[in-house]
Structure formats: C-alpha cells, structure tokens
Chain A
C-alpha cells in the first residue's frame, strides 16, 4: 500500500518531532553538520554513542586491571574498540531500506551455511560451529543474531499487523529452521539468543497476548523435555552447579564460586582499582572476557555496578526510544528487538557472573574482550543508529 501524499507524510513527521522536541535538535545537528563539513554529515545518535563510549571506557579501565596491567592489552583493546565504533558508524550510514532489502538473501544464505556447517563444518572445542571458507573461518550462527530479527522484521512489516495466525506460523517456521540447526551444532547459547531475538520481533509486532502466554506455557513445558533430550551433560552440569556450586568447588562450580567471592568481597565501595585480589592472583578465570564484570565489581563495588548497570539501562532505554519513534514498521521492530537482545546479553552475562544463571559463554557487550561478539553487537548498534538518523530519507512507514 502506497500513500502518495507528501503533505500528509510531512505532517506526520512534524507531529512526531514536535512531540519529542527532536525537530529543533535535528536542526541543530544540521547546522553543526554544515560547520564541520563532511564530518558533520556523519549520521549517528549522539546519546547512544555517548553511553556506549562510557561503557567502552569502563571496559578498558577494568580490562587494564584484569589483564595484569598490560598496556599492550589496553592498546589492542582500544584499537579494537576504535575499529568497532568505526564499523558501527559505517553501518549507521547505510539506509535502513538496504538492511531489509538484503535481509531475506542474508537469511537464506546463512541457513544454507548452517546446513553446510552441519555437513562439513570444522570442529572446535567439541562442537561443529565453524565454517572455513578458505580465507575466513567463522560461525554462521553468529550472523543470525542480527540476521534473524532483520528477517522477521522485514517479513512481518510486509504483513498486516498485528500478525495473523498464518503469518505467525510462517514467522515461527522461519525462526525454527535455523534455531534447530544451531542447536544441532550444538550451541544452545547462540540458539537461545537467536530465538529470543526472533521472538522479540514477534512480540513487538503485536503478537496477541494469547500467543505470548501460550509460548511461555510451551517453553515452560519444553524445559524439562529439553533437559532430557536436547541438553548435553556439560550443559546440565552447569545448570545443576548453579543451584549448588559447592558440590564441586574445584570443578564445575569453580567459576561461579570464584566469581561470587570476587563480587562479594568487593563490598559497597570495592577494593579499589588494581586492588582486586581474586583477579590479580588468577583465582578468577576469564577475567578479561566473560568474567570481566566480576573484576570490575571486585574493584569498584556495588556503587560501580550500579553506575555500569545504569549505563546499560540507558543504552537499552535509548534503543527503545529510537524504536518508539522509528517511522518504518520494519525499522521499529528491528530497533526494539536489537535493544531487547542487548538486554538479554547483559542479563545473561551479569546473571552468570553474580551466580543466578548457569555459566554460558555470553560476553558482556562492550566490556568483554572478544572479536566476533563485538562485531555483531556493533553492527546491531549501527543499525539502531541508522534507524534513528535516516527517517527523512525514507519518510514513510513501509
């Protein structure tokens, strides 16, 4: 359905902007854009960028401590962050139209790659996750963390919303095929993240509450079945360890126990930067990657955690804000799904570190040192910025 009434379109735009007071601000950026020339034309969301950079800075500060005060580590990490932020800004320059144009092709090719992984993939750490294309070796499943919400957002935006039964079934099929392929790798963590991302899209698309509650019921019912038929022993062990870490303090429970000791011994104000004993004496494993939050919490205490969590909340808040004011249906669905996926990342990692979730290899966005995950997150955030800044290019809701 195409509405070819520029006036109306403009009015809708204006109404939105005046409601949020964004119009003037947007104007200000245009002005500054002229002042700074080409640089000023770079499209980005300053609020989001500000919070992200703060988190990245905290990540470097905590990482310096966690890496045994290695300047080399900080340099490497800072370099990665710079590259990642550039990637994010690069993505932000791409019209969101383009994302949805490539979404189906990307989705189909990734699913094909997952099949290829299933058939000929490389084995690493006991799981078949990697695809070696000769010049690059990567995990196709990682792409789906963005690819899946893109695909569903594109698909649902072409349908009347709230989605009808048939559309829901189709969307769920699109969701299920790659998820099952990822579970078979096996990579339960990624599968759950991919599925969550897809379900968020459905949820924001206005999926009836009956469906939502139905899903929850099915998931609750499926959990025991997953336990017996899908989960591997090491995964079960991690879950069991969560409930009783002391059962095997030097084995399965070690990470959880040491992490809780690090956090707990930090107290309200923390032991001070570079003063954490748990991390510096290597009791805390994976200090610069998955458990960097424990290092941070040990040295900066509860206050540090509150500040950091506030920053994450601000990022998510901003993401949801962008979603709420996005003009295109696909854009707002994608933006909301990305924001909530970000929340899931933070929650799963922080929950693991503070001992309320099992140990899974989910990094803390912008804090954990890691290549692939950082790239994925930055691409997603870049899309968020693109959705925020390129309304006027599209100017319509499709």
Chain B
C-alpha cells in the first residue's frame, strides 16, 4: 500500500465519516420536519375541536361575557284619597355622586366637596375608601338628599368639579305623615322575609316594597313591571353600548275611599286617646275614615328606620305601631245589644212591645251569683226599645240566657262577627264570638251558662275589631243589606243580605238606637244633632269589679278605666255614614266616644264648615 493509497484511504475514511454525519443529519432533519408537521397538526386539531366541536358552547360563553341585562326599576304607583289628594307619592330627591375616572384632580375635588356639603371627616374617609376599592367608572355616592342650596352651590362650582354629578331618584313620601300611617302603611327596604313572597326577577333594582297597610296589600298593583336594558359591557363591566331597551311599566295609581279631611277630623276627634275610629258608607261599604291612634311617621321607615327611632316606637307603652282599627280586638261591650235584640226577635224570644222587669241584677235560676246592671237600682219595667235606649244589662242577660250560647253564636256569626270582614288590608284580625266548640278546643273546658249571660252584653270572651263594629252598624243602618268594606274599589263587594223572619224586626232595633241619641233617657242623648243620629254606646270592661264593690272611675288608675265605645249611623232615615269609635280607657261611651262620632258625622253630612286640613295633626302625647 503506497503512501498515496493510504492518503486516499484516509481521505476516503474522512469522506465516509463526513458523509455518514451528513446522512444522519439529513435523516434527522427529515424527522424534525415530520415533527413540525405533527406539531402543527396537533395545534390545528385542537383549534378545530374548539372552533368546530365546541363552537356553540364558546359562542354562548362569549355572548354571556359581552351582554348584560340591566333592570330599569318601575316607578311605584301613587296612592290618592277619594278626592285626588296624594296620600303616598314619589318625590324626587337629589344626590351628589362622583365618578373617579372623570375627575381630573380627585384630591382637590374632595376638599371642595367637603367644604360645600359640610361632610364630616368620617364620611369623607368612608368616601375615599369607597373610591379606592370601587371601580373607577362606577359613581360613588357623595351625599344624598341634597338641599337646594347645596345643589345650587355644586352647580356653581361645576367647572372645578369634573366627574361630580347631581342625579335624582324617587323617594316614597307620605305627605300626611302620621294621619294615614296604619291604613296606607309604608314601604321599606326589601328584606329576607319579603324575598320569600315576591318574584325576585320583578324586584331587581327596586329599592322598596310595601311593608304594611295598603302599600302591602296592593304591592303587585303599585309595583309595576321592571324594564330591561340589554347592554354590551367590557371586561371591567363598563357599559360600551346599549343594545335594546324594554321600558319599565310604572305601577298603577290607587284611589282610596278615604277622605283626607274626614280622616283628619277623625284623628282630631280621638284627640289624645289611644283608640280607633272607622267611618264607613253603609250603602257601598266604602271606608271613609280609618284612624288608629297613637300613630307614627311612616316616612321614617322609607329609607330604613334608624335603630334609635325604631326602639323608641317599640318601647312606647302606647304601642303606636299597633293598628287599633283592624288588628286590635276589644270586647264590644253594650254596642252588641242591638244585634242581641235582633237575635231575640229572630228566635222569637222577645216581643218588642212586652215589658220586662229589670232589677238591679240578674240571677241564673239556682245560682247565687249576681249579674249586675250598670245602673245601681235597675231600670224597672222596660221593653226592647227602652232596653236598648237605656242600655239595660239585665234585659239582655235574661235574653242571652234564654237564647243559649249556640243560637247566640249562630246569629252573631251570621252578622260577620268572629270573622274577617274581608277588607283589603293585610293584617285584619278575626275577632271572636265564643262557642262551646271554641272553648273546648282552646281551653279544654265545658261552657258555663254564666258565660252566655255576660256574652249578652258583649263581655267575656267576645272580641271584635273596631272595623267589625263599623261593619255591624252599617248592616243595622241598611237593615241587613251587606257590602264588604273596602278601601280600593273592586268588583265582588256585595254580600248576601241578612234575612230575618220579619223585616220589621230591623225597624224595632233601629228605632231603639235612634232613641239612644234622641230620647230623654238615651245614653247618648247629649250628641243629639239637627239630623237624626242612631247609635249605641258601650263600655268594654278592662277588669272585673268584685261582687260587692262599686266601680269608681275616679279612684282607678287610667290604665284600668274601661274602654269607651260608640257605634252609630246617620241620618236615621237615609243612612249615609256609619261610625264605630273606641277610645282606650275612655271611661264611658256616652261621655267620650259619642261626641267623637258626632264630629265626624257633622263634617261628613255637611253640618260643619269645611276647614282646610293641614297635613300635620296633633299627635298623641304632643
């Protein structure tokens, strides 16, 4: 092997070596190219999975990202009285707000705002925190309920306050304050309990919900239907553009049967007594006045009542939040006697012309207990008319005893007592007409005849609301024709009339009631008016006087005074108004409550010059 050969070999080896390296390299490049193809295939396969297979899913998510539905809350319907006066309305309030991203010099602007609006340091600190943690395009509330002066000042300083806006919102207001607090009720912030009874979809964006009274009863009518605004938002939630608007349908206005001046007079008539007065038009069932005293200012509740105010209302011994017209129940006392008289006539237990000797007390045969008359010496010989006129207890003790509790219960229940009248208010009580079944069920005891006796004069277990008394006297005024009492007119109001064996019976009792006011012996004779009032006084016993003791109002603490009751209607020949009034611890019906009813009737029937009624009335305890 020559050197030349070996050189050639080594060259050959080197070439081999190089070509082997190149061969490997080329193979690997091909492999790399293949890998590249595979990698892109994987990417495209994955992209196809997202864009073809799951396209619908991701499209939906993208739309959800993009589109928000905002709610436009409806304007709440207003509430008017019979004569078109606003009893519950919406007033514009103005608030200042600042949009941080629009403010050029936030720090400086806050200093100006503090000075102009008189913000204290805590409020300002709170505002700074809200701005810091809020989104820059979300306006932060600076101050609500701006005064006109503050608004003018802000408007004047507008050039130095970029980003500060004055926006208006509607606030529920009750211009008559205390006067309609119980019957109209109030709205308040929606709480957990409210959420259970409403459709949350309808209440998005709504601040208020009716909490009591008419506001609650007609919540669905007053509230309206919210509108919707479909908007496109960006990732921060900032509205980019509005896509679609469905306007809100405002709530319907409501017209009440109540009359503001009459309500005012009724409230004034009650004066400083705790109690209630209900005036009803017996022909239609329209409630013309419904007052419960003491009262409270419903405006306090609108934006959330302060703890202090709420505690004050709760701790008030007179319980101003308690609706004494429809929720509270009282023994009807002697005002039940006309109905008892009707029952006696109906069951043939009473001859209207036959006299009955009423001594100072009544005794159940074989029992020593004395059921005493209010008149120490008794009334002597009285017929039905006189018994009603003089409110003779013994006459009705005897009648009730002879009637028995079963028939008594049957007749009173037929009159609508012990049942809700069906008025359009949310918190009506049923009252109570006792029966054997009721006593067995609730007390597990048998019925005693003595309990029948006192039921005859509306004492014992019997309980009625003032509204039920007004309804009772309306039925008496209309001689059995019945209209369901109402505040807002609706259709099915007429109820089946009460049919008696002889329609003359009505006249017998009504005449007795006429004599209560218009005869020399009538208990309410001092309210005799130029027009004919028929009525019945009553006292509801708060505590029982011992057998041999006497009732001396003067010696008793006011708390133990009897409740004074009066029911009446006028004019006698063509009844236009029926009134029931109860004054707690008022003493006697004749002295306290009958004049109250008279004042209401006077005004209603036009016997008193109409005076302008101011929105504010003397409040109990003022």
What separation, in Å, do the CA atoms of A262 and B48 have in the docked complex? 13
B527 at the interface (CB under 8 A from A): no
Taking a contact as CB atoms closer than 8 A, the residue among A160, A268, A310, A339 that contacts B51 in the complex is A268
B40 at the interface (CB under 8 A from A): yes
B14 touches A264 (CB 8 A): no
Q: How far is the CB of B607 from chain A (nearest CB, A)?
A: 73
Residues of B within 8 A of A282 (CB): 234-236
Taking a contact as CB atoms closer than 8 A, the residue among A162, A267, A283 that contacts B55 in the complex is A267
Residues of B within 8 A of A261 (CB): 58, 61-62, 65
B235 touches A266 (CB 8 A): no
B312 at the interface (CB under 8 A from A): no
A397 touches B51 (CB 8 A): no
CB-CB nearest in chain B for A333: B25
Taking a contact as CB atoms closer than 8 A, the residue among A1, A305, A397 that contacts B44 in the complex is A305
CB-CB nearest in chain B for A301: B51
Q: How far is the CB of A286 from chain B (nearest CB, A)?
A: 12
What separation, in Å, do the CA atoms of A313 and B41 have in the docked complex? 10
Contact with B along A153-171 (1 / 0, CB 8 A): 0000000111000000000
Taking a contact as CB atoms closer than 8 A, the residue among B17, B65, B236 that contacts A278 in the complex is B65
Taking a contact as CB atoms closer than 8 A, the residue among A277, A309, A339 that contacts B40 in the complex is A309
Q: A282-B234, A313-B36, A313-B40 are in contact. Are A260 and B58 (CB under 8 A)?
A: yes
CB-CB nearest in chain A for B236: A282
Main secondary structure of the interface of A (DSSP, over half): helix
Residues of B within 8 A of A278 (CB): 62, 65
Residues of B within 8 A of A277 (CB): 62, 65-66, 232
Q: Which one, B26-34, B265-273, B536-544, is touching chain A?
A: B26-34
B18 at the interface (CB under 8 A from A): yes
B21 touches A329 (CB 8 A): yes
Q: A161-B21, A301-B51, A312-B40 are in contact. Are A264 and B58 (CB under 8 A)?
A: yes
What separation, in Å, do the CA atoms of A309 and B43 have in the docked complex? 8
Residues of B within 8 A of A203 (CB): 28
A281 touches B240 (CB 8 A): yes
CB-CB nearest in chain A for B234: A281
Chain A: residues with Cβ within 8 Å of the partner, total of: 54
B613 at the interface (CB under 8 A from A): no
What separation, in Å, do the CA atoms of A203 and B27 have in the docked complex? 11
What separation, in Å, do the CA atoms of A206 and B21 have in the docked complex? 7
Q: How far is the CB of B581 from chain A (nearest CB, A)?
A: 64
Residues of A within 8 A of B35 (CB): 340, 343
Residues of B within 8 A of A73 (CB): none
CB-CB nearest in chain A for B26: A324
Chain B: residues with Cβ within 8 Å of the partner, total of: 42
B11 touches A3 (CB 8 A): yes
Main secondary structure of the interface of B (DSSP, over half): helix
A354 at the interface (CB under 8 A from B): yes
What separation, in Å, do the CA atoms of A336 and B233 have in the docked complex? 48
Q: How many A-B residue pairs have CB under 8 A?
A: 139
Contact with B along A288-313 (1 / 0, CB 8 A): 00000000010001100110011011
Q: A260-B50, A281-B66, A332-B25 are in contact. Are A397 and B36 (CB under 8 A)?
A: no
A265 at the interface (CB under 8 A from B): yes
Contact with A along B1-26 (1 / 0, CB 8 A): 00000000001001001101100111
Contact with B along A235-279 (1 / 0, CB 8 A): 000000000000000000000001011111111100000000110
What separation, in Å, do the CA atoms of A351 and B39 have in the docked complex? 10
Residues of A within 8 A of B62 (CB): 261-262, 264-265, 277-278, 283
Q: How far is the CB of B412 from chain A (nearest CB, A)?
A: 67
B29 touches A263 (CB 8 A): no
B65 touches A397 (CB 8 A): no
Q: Which residues of B, 31-84, contact A by the 8 Å Cβ criterion?
A: 32-33, 35-37, 39-40, 42-44, 46-48, 50-52, 54-55, 57-59, 61-62, 65-66
Q: How far is the CB of A381 from chain B (nearest CB, A)?
A: 16
Q: How far is the CB of B168 from chain A (nearest CB, A)?
A: 30
Residues of A within 8 A of B51 (CB): 263-264, 266-268, 297, 301-302, 305
A306 touches B44 (CB 8 A): yes
Q: How far is the CB of A229 from chain B (nearest CB, A)?
A: 29
Taking a contact as CB atoms closer than 8 A, the residue among B17, B47, B240 that contacts A305 in the complex is B47
Q: A161-B21, A206-B25, A354-B46 are in contact. Are A340 and B32 (CB under 8 A)?
A: yes
What separation, in Å, do the CA atoms of A116 and B54 have in the docked complex? 50
What separation, in Å, do the CA atoms of A302 and B58 have in the docked complex? 14
Q: Which one, A37-45, A83-91, A173-181, A315-323, is touching chain B?
A: A315-323
A343 touches B55 (CB 8 A): no
Residues of B within 8 A of A332 (CB): 25
- Going nearest first, the 9 A-B pairs with the smallest beta carbon separation are A264-B58, A265-B62, A206-B24, A161-B21, A282-B235, A281-B234, A264-B50, A302-B51, A265-B59
8 additional A-B pairs beyond A297-B51, A302-B44, A343-B36, beta carbons within 8 Å, are: A160-B17, A206-B28, A264-B58, A264-B62, A266-B51, A355-B46, A355-B50, A356-B42
Chain A positions near chain B (C-beta within 8 angstroms)? 1, 3, 160-162, 203-206, 258, 260-268, 277-278, 280-283, 297, 301-302, 305-306, 309-310, 312-313, 316-317, 320, 323-324, 329, 332-333, 336, 339-340, 343, 346-347, 350-351, 354-356, 397
